[in-house]
Each structure stands twice: as C-alpha cells, then as structure tokens.
Structure 1
Amino acid sequence: MAGEIRGPSSLFLLYLFLCLASVVASQTLPNNDQKQILLRIKREWGGEPALDSWNVDTSTTYCQWQGVGCAADGSVVNITLSDQNGTRITRPIPASLCDLKNLTHLDLSYQRIHTRFPTSLYDCSSLRYLDLQQNGFVGAIPADIDRLSPRLTLLDLSGNNFTGDIPPSFGRLPAIQTLWLHANLFDGSFPAEIANLSRLQQLGLAYNSFAPMRIPSEFAKLTKLTFLWMAKANLQGEIPASFAQLTGLTQLDLTQNSLTGAIPAGIWGLPNLQYLYLYKNNLSGSIVIDGTIGALGLVEIDLSMNQLTGSIPDDFGKLKNLSLLYLYYNRLSGEIPASIGKLPSLSTLRLFSNGLTGVLPPELGKNSLLIDIEVDDNKISGELPDGLCDRGAFNSIVVFNNNLTGTIPPSLGKCSKLNNFQIHNNRFSGELPDGIWSAMNLTTVMVSNNTLSGTLPEKLPWNLTRLEIENNRFNGSFPSSADRLQVLLGSNNMFSGELPSSLAGLLSLQTLVLGGNMITGKIPDDISLLKSLNDLDLRHNRLTGEIPASIGSLPVLTTLDLSANHLSGPIPSEMGNLKFNYLNLSSNQLTGEIPAALQIRAYDQSFVSNPGLCASKAYVNVSTCRSGSGGLARGLRILFFVLGAVVFLMALAFATFVYGDLKKKRNGGDLAAWKLTSFQSLDISESSILRGIRDDNVVGGGGAGKVFKIDLGDRGVVAVKKIWNGRNLDSRLEKQFQSEVQILGSIRHKNIVKLLCCISGADTKLLVYEYMENGSLDRWLHRKRAWFGGEDRSRDEQLDWPTRLEIAVGAARGLCYMHHDCSPPIIHRDVKSSNILLDSEFNARVADFGLARMLVKPGEPDTVSVIAGSFGYIAPECGYSRRLNEKVDVYSFGVVLLELTTGREANNDGEQCNLAEWAWQQLREEAELSDAIDTAIRDSPYMDDMTTVFKLGLLCTETLPSRRPSMKEVLHILLRCHRPPGVGYSPIAEQDVAAPLIRANTGSRRQKPSHGGDHDDHIMACNV
C-alpha cells in the first residue's frame, strides 16, 4: 500500500520540478533574446553614436543601457532616444525595433531622421506611445496610418516636413488620446473623421498651410477634448456654435486665421475653459454672454486684432482667476467695467486702439499684482488710478493718445520696477514724482504734449534710453549725464542755462532735439565725442559764440538745425565733410563765405537771414562774395571772357559737325532728355555722371547691368549702377528699377546703402549711390578680384573674426530695420554676400534692392510671380509657394552667416550640395563644429562665438519657415556675441540659441502674444 502511495508522489514531484524549470527558462531565455534584438537594432542603425552604451562588453545589463526601459520580467517596454546628450540619430528607423514584442513606448523626438513615415512601425503591435516630433520626415503621411497599433494613445508627428493631406484614416485609431500634427508643411486638408476619436483629449493642427477650409462642425463630438490648438491653420468661416458642447475644453487656440462672424455665446459657458486665444482673425459683432458666464476659471483671454464691436462685458469682472486680458486692435466702445479693477489675479491689461470712453477702473492695482496696462489710442478721460503700484510689481504704463487729465499720482514714484512710462498726448499737468527718476530699470519715458512742469535730475537713470518731453513746461538746466540715453526730444519747453560744458556723460546720444527753449552759452567743443549723433536740433534758443569746428567730425550726423540763435563767426569748413539730409543755419549772425561743399541747390534756404554770409554761387540765396578789382583786372577778365567764348564756339562747332555721334553716345544723348531725381542733399549734375559712364570706370556688374566708379572731384566718389541699356525695355528690369528707387529713396538707415539720386533717360536708367571703398563682402571672403582705387587689397588681407562679426551685426541691423521698423515692412529677397557692401571702416551696408517688394499690409505675405534670388541663398519655399514673407531674407542671411564662419561659398564651389546643405550634413554626421570654421580664423580666442554664429546660421536655414528666427531674434543673438575676448560671459550653448525658436510641446503650447512682435507700436525695436 505504501509503495502505491509513493509512486504517484514521486511523479508529482517530478512534474513540479519540470514546471519550475520551465518557469525559470521562460524568465531567462527571452531576456537573452531581448539583448540580442537590441544589438541587432544597433547594427541595423549603423552604430549611431547615440547607441554607444549598447555594448555587449559593458558591465551593465541591457536594461541599464542608454534609453532602454524594461518591465519587471526583463522585457524591453520603452525606447527613449530623444536627443541624447546632443547626439542625434540620422539613419532610418530599423524594422527590427518591432521584434521587441512588448515595446509600448517609443520616443525618437528631436533627431535628424529625414525619411518618409516609417511604415515598419505598423508591426509594433503593443505600441501605446509614439513620439517622432522635431525630425525631418518628409512626404505625405500614408493613407493606411490606421495600421498602427490599435492600443496607441499618443502620436506626436509635429515639427516635421510632412506635406499633402492629413488622411481620414486617422479617425480609425480608436485609443488615441493625444494627437500632435502641428508645425508641418501640410498644404491639403484635414479630415472631419478626426471627430470619430471618441477618447481624444489633445489635438494640435496649428502652424500648417492647409488649403482654406472651415472648422468641421463634427469636432463638437469630441466631448473629452481638453486642448484644441489650430492657430495659423488657414481656417475660414465661423466658429461652430456647436463648440458649446465641448464641456471638457480647458484651452482653445484658433489664433492667426481668417475666421469671421461673432464669437459663439456658448463659448463663455464652457465650465472648464481656462485659456481662450482667438487673436488676429476677422471676428466681428459684440461679445455676447448668454445669462451668467460659466467659464469662471478663465486665466487668459486674448481676442485682440479682430473687428469686435460693442462694450466689454460686465461679466468679465467675475473671472476671479483672470490674469491676462487682451482686447486691443478692435472697435470696442463704452466704458471699461469698474469690476475689472477688482479682479484679484489680474496682471496684464491691454485694451489699446479701440474707441473706449469713461475712466480707468479706479481700483486697478489695489487688488492684484498688476504688472502693466496699455490702454492707449482710446478716448479715456479722468485721472490715473492712484493704486497702480500698490503691490510693487507694476512696471509699464502706456496710456498715450487719450483725454486723461490731472497730476501723476505720487504713488507712481514708488514703483521701483517701473521701466516703461508712456503718457504722451494727454492733458496731464503738474510735476512728475521724483521717485520716477530713481527707478533702476527705467528705459523709456514719453510724456510729450501735456502741460507738465518741473526740472530734470542732473543725472538721468543709468538704463534710460529714450526721453521724450516735448511741448511741456519743464525748466531748469539740461542733464549732464545719461549713460545709455539714445534719444532726447525736449523742444518747446522752458529749459535755460548753458549746455553741459562736457558732453562725456552723453556718449550714446543719437538724437538731441532741444529747439524752442531758452538755452544760452556756447555749443561745447567736445560735441565731437557724440560719435553716434544723427540728429541735432537746437533751433530757437539763445546760443552765442561760433559753431565749433569739431561738429564736422561727427561721422553720422545727417540733420542739423541751429537756426534762430545768436551764433556768430564763420561756418567751419569741416562741416563740408558731412552729408546732410537737412541743414538750417538761418537767422543767426554768421559771417564769411559759406564752405564750397555746402554751396549747392539743396541748401538754398539753409543760410537766409545771416547778413554777413556770402557765397560764390547765386542760387544759395545769400549775397555774392566780392573781391578787390581795378580797371586793368576788369579789362583782363573781359578779354579772357571774349577769348574763351570764341574758343568755346569753335569747339562746339567742331564737336557738332565732326564728333556729334560720338559725343551723343558717350554722354547718353541730349542732356535735355535726362531727368535727375535727387534723394539726398548733394550737388550732382547729369553731365558729371554721364561723363563718367566709361568702360575704364567699370568696377562690377550683375544681371541688371554694370556698376561704375565715378570720381566727382571735391564732391567725392560715387558708384553708379546702369541697370539697363537698349530700347526694347524688359518689363522685369523695369520693375526692378521702380522697386529699388521706391524703397531706397524713402528709407534712411546707417546700415542700408544711400541712394543719392536717379537719372532717367529714354533707354538708360542710372542709380547713383554712395561709394563703398572696400567693395562687397564676398570679394573679401572668397578672394575674388576687388577694386579699391586700382588696388586689390582683398587678395592680400584677411578679415579677422571681430571684423566679420561687426559686418554680420551691421547687416542684421539693416534687415531688422526693414522687417520690423518700416511701415509697410520690406522684404529684400536677394540677400547675399555680394549685396553687403563695406565702407572704408568695414561698416556694412545692405545693397541692391532690385528684387525687393513693399508688403501691401503689415504681416501679410507678398505674392510673387517668379522665383527670384541667387543660387545657394534661395529659401526652399520659393520653389513651391507664391506666398512669401520675410523669412526668405532670414534664410539668405543664414547662408551669409555660414559664409562668414566657414569661408566657403554659398554654392560650395560647384559641389553637389549648397553651403546650407553642407553645414547641416556636418551636424548630422556629428562632426566637430570647430572643423567647419574657416582655417583663416580658426586659431583665435573667439572659437565659442564662431561656433555659436555657425549654429545660428543653421537655425536661419531651417527648411520650415516657421522654425526660423525673426531678424530681431537673430540680431539679439549676434549682439550677445559682440564683445571683446575674455569678457566675463559664457558662450551660448546650442540649446540656448534654439530655445526661443523651437515650439514648446508641453503645457500651453502657445506663443504668447507680446506687444512687440507682429504689432509693436510702443517698444523701440532693434535700437537703430
């Protein structure tokens, strides 16, 4: 019996042992398989540096390899290789990834994988999370995208180069909760089938150039949606009223589209809504709230730049969490609800450019950490609230162009953080609180056109850059120190006393306007210290003494008005060195002969009411200078005149009958047929230019004609561009000419080449520019033949890095001015190193606007009919889009930055790829960036700055225009590098350069509107 019992027990134990062994085997064998799969993936990936830790020889287990995550049983469930330590993957995704059967999480974001969508990922059947954002994927998304894992909850394809339509099959991914498709190149449509994603919580379609389309009303079925981001997606029509059903929505962003109609009243009833962004559309009608506002959790509201009418709803005063309210650039009327001043969280209020009336909410600033208010360009009356700075955070007040009255509240003098104070064009009276001048961060004070009084401190705040106090009643003496002051407009006040005996404390001044005061004494001799001074206006004062000769050494002075004073003595001959756009020395007591260089028609009203002045030319509008003469001298003059007349008539007859045809060709035909249009105050005649149009004066040329260097003697040297020749005029060249004349004749900037005049004939058009002694940048960088008065210095000398950076900063300032400070903005469309000219001090000038276009409306892209530009500099979108914006200039300037840092030509000396492609290839291959730097400058203490500018060039040449920085951002980064070696400043890392340019992929995912981007009227951009 016992034996019968022992037999089955033994069998049971054997069975149990075999089961345990099987369990052990099941836990170890797959783990070995997992390791081998990872090693195979590494081999198929070509041994990418990001996978260096995937090594069988290391002491760590594969679960500890970089980017690998395992479950408790050792199976690989997570691969995350998101830009590991700056090492990026460039090769296609291997199919063997899907051999990891338990892989649920795959993150390959911020790599450089430039292929089509990897359909091999269809085999990853367990995948729940797939992040491929910020790569270089191209082409259309496959129509069968729904073959991805049915368990997928997150799919991020944003920041790539996908084109075409978004396929309807996206609507057949049943588990999707987050779908990011923003910032691509989609130019087709997006499907209404997305509404079938019943679990969808976050949807991003923003920053795509879709074909014009309406928002599908079916999207209202996405009842679990919390985040909807469709900014700048070419949306049209109205916002569906059915959006009132999206009760889970916390953020709605439909900015920068062409939406019309009214804002659906139901939007204001969404119970969870926190962020509402609808700015820069064509929305109209009143803001209507049915019943009581339901979205009481609203934190930010931006409805700016629309056509909204009516009044601001009183219900906005119930939004206890509201911190930001933007309603500017609309057509709102009525009063600002007083309840808005009681909001406990309000920090920023921007209501400018409407038709608002009434008074400012009296409790503004008393109940919240108010930071800034901007309510300018309205019809607001009353006084400023006295509690704006009660919480100590207030830093900016912009209330100009209203009907405000009373005195400035003394409490504003306690605003230690105040930096921006703009109250001009109101009816304020009294004195400014003393404390305003002690605010450490104060940069801008604009109080013109009020009736303010009081005195200015002897030393202005160290950080103040702009002071405008014109047409007030300020008195006392002028400040003697202002470290960073660039603009001072103080005309028509009651200033008295003398100008400071030393101007050494005002070295940053660019504009000084103090006309219409009672200033006495002399103009200081050390005015020559103000090397940046461009505009000097001291008219209608009581100045005495002589004009100092040192004024003639101000290198950029173009406007000078010293009229209606008591100045005496001669006009310094040194002033003839300056090229004035405006000169007025009238109504003084000046004597002697006017310097010869100033005796031109442009200044014929500049010297009137100076009885002691004379000139040798009658058209200067003063008396003619006389010299002693006797009968013999008079007789000799008559004799010489007669003989000269005879010789002249003989020469004229000879030229007419023997050399008539030759003369006509050399001088461009009959002078009467030529028309001269002047843009600068210069004494240039048609004949003096036409005589210089000779082959021996040719210094360059291009597709539009030849360039001549013409020496005008004491009037200097000019460059003349003959932009066509022939009677069958080409319409394209005609447009180039009209564009260049229109633009250059109307703008003034020290980094844009000056157009002095244009001369038009029947079959020839001439543009006369200031002459740039050092030629163009490309001749210095690429060792091409250059003309410098017959001496080719560029072949022997090298541009060091500080000079190259100075050139880059100068050119960036010129382009920044064109993009951000011209109204309307200007696109150059042919930025290249040969169009960046250098003067004798290597200061840069942007030149050749033959391809530029004036934008019809600020912020609107220009429509062009042909691809224009130069090979190697043309932005990719020029090949497939007719709607271009200023980012084409940013791309071209990025190529110039790459030229400056690498010394290579834009077309890479005829190699297969251009310079931009070559530079990106260096980055993809993880090459040492220092090896890409020009060997002529590589051994210098500036290597960190050179590689930073190289990276900036890469960012500027991104394929997607929206990823490129603005010229304002480019200039900012260049200025951070613009410093002597050894200064205490850490180089900019690549991620720091790229930080403001890469769209956030968490949190708000919104570029917060700033009163300084597309629509900045109050902040002085680019500091030009």
Structure 2
Amino acid sequence: MGSAIWFLSLHVFIQIYTIVATTDAGDSTALRSLWNEWKNVPPSWGSGDPCDDGWVGIGCTGLRVTSITLPSMNLVGGLSGDISTLSELQQLDLSYNKGLTGSLPSSIGNLKKLTNLILVGCGFIGPIPDTIGSLLLLRFLSLNSNGFTGHIPPSIGNLSNLYWLDLADNQLEGPIPVSNGSTPGLDMLINTGHFHFGKNKLYGQIPSQLFSSEMTLIHVLFESNQLSGTLPSTLGLVKTLEVVRFDNNSLNGRLPLNLNNLTSVQDLFLSNNVLTGPLPDLTGLNSLNTLYLSNNSFDSSDFPSWLAALPSLTTLMMEHTQLQGQVPATFFTLSNLQTVVLKHNQLNGTLNIGPGVSNQLQMIDLQTNLISGFNSAGTYTFDIILVGNPVCDETGATNTYCTLPPSNSLPLYSTPPKNCQPNSCSSGQISSPTCRCAYPYTGTLQFRGFFFSDLRNRTPYETLEQSLMQFFQSHQVPVDTVSLSNPRMDSFEYLLVNLSVFPFGPNSFNRTGISMIAFAFSNQSFKPPPEFFGPYVFHGDTYEQFSDEPASSKKSSIAIIGAVAGASVLFLLLLLAGIYGYRQRKRAERATKGNNPFAHWDSKKSSGNIPQLKGARCFSFEELKKYTNNFSEANDIGSGGYGKVYRGTLPTGELVAIKRAQQGSMQGGLEFKTEIELLSRVHHKNVVSLLGFCFEQGEQMLIYEYVPNGSLSDSLSGKSGIRVDWTRRLKIALGAARGLAYLHELANPPIIHRDIKSTNILLDERLNAKVSDFGLSKPMGDSEKGHVTTQVKGTMGYLDPEYYMTQQLTEKSDVYSFGVLMLEIITARRPIERGKYIVREVRMSMVKTKSLYNLQEILDPTIGLSTTPKGLEKFVDLAMSCVAESGADRPTMGEVVKEIESIMQLAGMNPNAESASTSATYEDATKGASLHPYSDESFAYSGALPASKIEPH
C-alpha cells in the first residue's frame, strides 16, 4: 500500500510539474475550472497536460489554448466565468450539449481574440450579455436553438467583422435594434452575410434603416416572429440576397414595388401575414425557385402574367390571396415547375393543361375555386385537385381530379442498402447502408431554404448523401456511410431530414470522431448541394456509445490526492526526483530527435508509418519562426482545413510558402505524409516543388516554392486581375497536362493526383502552370497495375463517375478531371454552377456543323469570340474525349499533351517556347490585392476552411 501511495504521489507531482512547464498556468487553471464545473467531460481531461497530452477538444498554439471544440459531448453544467481568462482563445464551440444550461457570463466579453462563438442546440437561458459587442474579431456568432430571452443586444452592431449571425429559435423579444447616433444597431453590419432570427418573439415594425445598398446580406430570415407594419422598400436595395423569409408574422400594408430588384433571390417567403394592396410585378427574378404568398389580403386580381416569366420557379404557394380569372395554360410549361397550390381563391373558367407541360410537375391544387371545366391535351402523371369547384359539383362526378389523392403514410425516402441484405442487429445497434451493425451518430438536418418541392424525388437526397460522403472522406473523418430518411415539412415550412452517420472500422465512434462530425455542421463547414438546398441548421442527438475508455471518478481522484497530501516531505523528495528524471528524458529525446526528425511520429494519429523521404530538407521550428517574422499576420497568405499558409524569406532571399497545420484540423497526418512522400521524389517544372518540412514541437509544416500569381481559378474568375486570352489559356493547359503526364508516366512509382481542379493549378511569374496539392494523391505500386480499389475522394464536379461507381481508381480518373478543367478553361464557369453541370451543358449544346460548335452562349467572351480562336473546336473535341463515360475511351495524358501541342501549332504558337513576358505586363485590376494561390479558394473543398475564412451560403 505504501509503495502504491509513493507511485501516485510521484505521478501527481510530475503531472503538476509538466503543466507548469508547458501549458500556460492561467489557461490550465481555467480548463480545470471547466473540468470541475462539467459532468461527462472526455476521459483524457483531468490528467496530464492539456496541450502536450492532447485533451480532446483542446487546441493550442505554443503554450496557449486557442480553441475549445466539444460539440455533442453530452456535457452537463454551466459556463464558468473563468473561461474569460483564456485570453488567446479564438474558437469556442460547445454545440449540441443540451445539458449545458444557465446564462452566458458577461465576462465572455473579455475574450478579445475570439473569432467563432458557436453554442448551437444547448440549454442556455437568460439574456445575451451586452458585452458580446466587444468581441471585435468575431466572425461567427451562432447562439441558435437555446432558450435565450430579452432583447437583441444593440452592441452586436459593433462587430464589423461579423459574417454569420444566427440567433434563431430562442425566446428573444422586443424591436429590431438599429443605430441612433449614440447606440449601435444591426444596420451597421454591412459585411454580414447572414441574418438568422426566425422562431423568436420579436415585435414592432421592421426599421427601414435596417437595410441599405452597402450591405452584402445573403440570407435574411425573420420568419415566425410577431413583427408588424410594412415591409420596408430598403429591402430591395440589398441585391445580394438569395433567401428572404418574413412569413408567419403580422406584416401589413403593401409590398414594396422594388422587390424585383432582388435578382439573386431564390426563396421568397411572405405567407401568413396580413399584407394588402396589389401584388408587385416580380418580372426579372430569374433565379426565383420558391414563392410563398399564401394567406394574405392582397387586392383581388387576375392571375399575374409575370408568373409565367419566372424561368427557375419550382414552387408557387398562393392560397387565400384573392386571385381571380383563368390560369393560363402557358404557366404550366415552365420547365422547372413542380408544385402549384392556388387553393381558396376565385379562379374561374376552364382549366387547360396543354402540350409542353413541365415534366417535373407533381401537383396542381386548385381546391375551392370557381373553375367550371377541365381540358387536357393528353394523359398526365401528376396530381390535379379540383375538389370544391363547380366542375366537380355535377351529380356523379367521378373524375380523379374531383377526389383528394390518398395520403401516403410511408416515409418518402430512406437510403437503400448498397447491394446487401440488412442485418438484424442487437444491443441498440442499427444496420448501415453497407449492412454493418453499428451505433450511428444521429440528428436532424433542418433546411430553412430549399429549391425543390417534390419530396418524393430521390435526386436531392442521393446528391446530399454523395456530398456528405465526399466531405467526410476528403476531410478524413472516420465515416463509413451515411443514411437519410423521412424527409418531411414541419409547420414552420422547414424541410426536415433524419441523418445517421455510421463509423468506419469499429462499431462506434470515439469522442474525437463525434466532435469532427458535429463540428462540420455547427461551424457550417459542410455545405449541402447548392442546386437543391439553402440555409440549414443541424440538431444533433445525444450519443452515448463512445468507444473511449470511461473517465475515472473525479471523487476518487480527489480522495487519492487527499490521502497522500499529508506526506509533504516525501512528496517533495519524489517531486525533485521526478523533475530530474523528466529533464533527463527530455534531454535524451532532444538528442534522438536531432538525429531523427520523426522520432515522435505517432503511427496511429499520423496515419501510418514514418514518411519515406527523398531529398527534402528538415527545417527547425525556430528557423521558420525567423523566416516568417514569428508567423506574423503580415505574412499570412491563406488558410485551409490543414491550417494557415505563411510567406517566408530564406537567408538567401528566396521566397517560400510555409503550410502550417492547425492543431485539431480535420486534415493533418495523412495529408502531411502523402505530400511529403510524393513531392520529395518528384521534380518537374510543371509540378510545384517541395523544399522541406518541419516536424517538431507538435508542429507539422511543409515548405514549398513560392508561386506568385495565384491559381488558374483566380485568373478565370477575374479575382487575380490577370487577363488570360486564348493563347495564354492554351499554354496553361499544356503546362498542366505536361505536369500530370509526368506524374502518370515518368514518376517512380506513378502517381494518380485524384484532385485535379482549377484551384490546384498554380501560375508562376511567367504564367507557367504548376500542379499542386497532393494531399489526396495515390501512388501506384507494381501490384496495382491497371487500377487500385480505394475510397472515393476528390472534388464534386471534377470527379470521374466511373471511379465513383466502381471505387476503382485509374490514371483515366485524372484524365476525366482534366477534361472538366479544359471545359472550365474555355467557359470560365465552375463545373457545377446553379445546378448545371458543365459537361452536360456542353454535350447538350454542341452542334458540330455550326460555328464554334454552337457554344457561343457558354464560352467565356474574354477569350475573344469576334473571330473564331484558332484550334478552339479541336480543344473542345479533346476535352469531350477526356470526359468520355468509359475510362477506356479516354486518351492518356501523354496523348493529351501531344494533341494540345498540335492545337497550339495550328494557332501559330510554338509549344516549346518559354513565355516572353511576366505577369507584370498583364492587365491587373486588383493592384495590391493578395493573389497568392495558397488562399481560401485553393482549399475550398480538399480542406475544411475555418469558419473565419470561407463564407458558407
């Protein structure tokens, strides 16, 4: 027993010494205060050092705690005011912990470096402290789905950097605060993209001052409040708006006539108010998908002719709006139309369903109108409901349109098994789509905006599943499959979909895995397919099957410490012995590390064995601090899911780009190992060069050559200000093709890039293309000739459909992605833009017998289309051969290189000539802007950007 006490004493005091020696003492004290305040903390908490020993959810920079991310940890307790002592804290995410209750301490305003404050779906109550307005660096403020009461703090108007503001689904009341000279207000948030205030108790008029033409708002959501008065005409000045919801309020008066200025709006919800006056003409809203105007008191009017001029309209809800007259047959020919609900109006005459009706149409509901006849040009497959009209009042009217369609009580969609038979699972486990019994992480996706209304259509859900899996795989989240089920509409006109996420490998997630999944939703890192879905919020369920070892009892720990506290002299001796042993161990580790930079490589955390290097230099952490001026903000040139990228200057004067991993990032070990192994052995002028790496002091950094002119995506979009005409685009395409052909045919072993896209093609000072970002790449061993079977990874829009269907990766998968890239080069369009896939658009529009193959409307006019660019049609032919459905029908990259060289000769260019001029001679519309390729855009999908860097829509 005595020896056991000695051992415990030694452990306790060495632990105390280690904390003092590493994590900042104040930060350590604050974390231990939270540990004492909360129940169900992760087992790693309470022992060892928070930073050095990796407490789950704690991220550190040097000795300081910079992030606390603990979503869905089943935490119970309150938020201690001691958290305010974490003066370097930048991110706090405690979402989906319903057991976290009480009020937010006003001292939270002392966290001056906080950029993300995210407390979605907790149990916090009381007023939101006014001190929150002093967090001037705040980018994300998400306090939705709690029980907050009182008024919206006007001080939020001081947060000039705020991008995301979500206070929805609380009990907030009072008027919308605007500035008055001495008091700030929401009208000052001109850089904010998101106003989410739905499901509160806000009252009073909407101040006209709230909106202005300076604003960059994307979503304005004030649904289900108690707002009154008129909708201000200043709303029509915010031309960036995409989703507008003021439904379920008490708004009255006329709608502003300038609503048709909102040409980017996709969802417009104004139903369930007391609006009066004439309907405004919405002609010109060519992006409008969903229009909800039901249950208002508009002036009686004929069916508006402008409705037939809304090309994107999918859903029209105008129940109880005093419409009269006849619905024109041409309205039903809108190509995207799915649902029309015009119940309880005075529509009359004969309903005509002519030829050319939308093939997406699912329902026309005209119950309780004055329709006296019905004509159809032929058979139809959608529901027509005319119950309560004179046409159905005749005795014996038995037509199907005179009866209500049967209600379908079965779920509208559920992810089917993937070619297997579901298992009968026990102990609360569930059979996954791959028929494995496991404990999934579950929750509900609540879409506040969506661009379809046919809930029976499988395509949106299948696309959402694919998007989720691509996200999890590309961010290395340990997910095997996802399952969606039971899509439904609730009383607030939200689309709800149940989500189950199944673990990869074991049958349950550990806490880190759950935190990674929940973090993706709470921080809006995951973005659903934009062609179907708009703003969303996730409601995570409690997860109780963590695979981690259970935490030992705090009480027993306290008892043990108390039992040994009396032996203070003995403790002191043991402490001195521990310190001596600790220093000796550290000295030995430093000596070992000097000879082996990967002495501390953890094969479990870092995805496999030690990297096998070939010629990359090992830089010390102190060297890189010096080269970047201590990683100063002035040298910060970009961010991604991996972390930040800094510009550095070597003693020789050479510029380098230093990619520094962020602790707790969703990428890390695997990408670090893949890039360091592959890039250390490839050398080609069209492949970005890796100069070295750093792996010490808990840091993972990669050092690349500095490529000054951004990505190809930047130039095509105009972001970089560099004009790329037809000849320069050919040269860039050739350079990228040569780099990729080298990887396939000359690298040893051959390499499949797996993520070819315009953001991964960098341009040097002479606009030479360089292939970059090898985090997803796959070397092909001798035993894998032909193909390698692997999990699907890549970027939506560029992904080879054959690879996606078979999971068999070949060099031809890169060829497909390169073909998409070629189409992007000539169109300057993203592969998927507003639901349109560029490959399909080109394929459908091509007419080879016409000039420019009839692609004038798709081609980028800055190429110069007044005269046919020489070789463009051959370039299109080559691109389309690269995106052939079967990999066997696609050329090799070597063949692609030869064909582009031939096209360049046809255009009078020498494919082997160096560029004669630098980018400095080109048009530059953004003098002084940061054009570096390692910026937000470069990491937009292959790495989850921190919320402060990428703007979710």
Shorter-chain TM-score: what band? 0.3 to 0.5
Higher relative contact order (CA 8 A, sep 6+): 2
State the TM-score, normalized to the length of structure 2.
0.39
Which TM-score applies when normalising by structure 1? Answer: 0.37
> Whose Rg is larger?
1
